[in-house]
Amino acid sequence: MNKNTKVEPKTAVKKPRKPRTPKEVVVKTFTIKPEFRYEKHILALQKIEGFYNEWTSRFGYAKSNEEAYEMTEVFFQAYFGKRRFKNYDCFRSSVSQWLKKRNDSK
């Protein structure tokens, strides 16, 4: 190289992101693909007991019970593509009925 030859600094070129397929769902830190094999605790969310257990496990991360419910709904929606309950009041009502039924049977 000559002393007179100017060398341009290399600039980083970002590659364009590959678009996501519409069947993938992104939830904060992970991507769930449809061919993913669900574990038992994920399938348990479809029943009121499993959803209730997941909701109670989120109490430490949420400021209120309603916020824990919304976190659980987002988690459920990531796997199943729809909400489990219409709103928090419907959920509370269902849990109340389920707990009463469970306690009566014991």
DSSP 93: H
pLDDT at 92: 95
What pLDDT shows up at residue 84? 93
Task: Give the per-residue pLDDT at 75.
Answer: 92
pLDDT at site 13: 63
| 3 state DSSP class of 25 | strand
Measure the CA–CA gap between 96 and 89, rounded to whole angstroms.
Answer: 10
Torsion over CA of 60, 63, 66 and 70, rounded to 10 degrees? Answer: -70
pLDDT profile of the chain (106 residues), mean per 10: 62 62 50 62 88 93 93 91 93 94 85
Predicted structure pTM score: 0.62
Residue type, 53: N
What is the model's pLDDT at position 64? 93
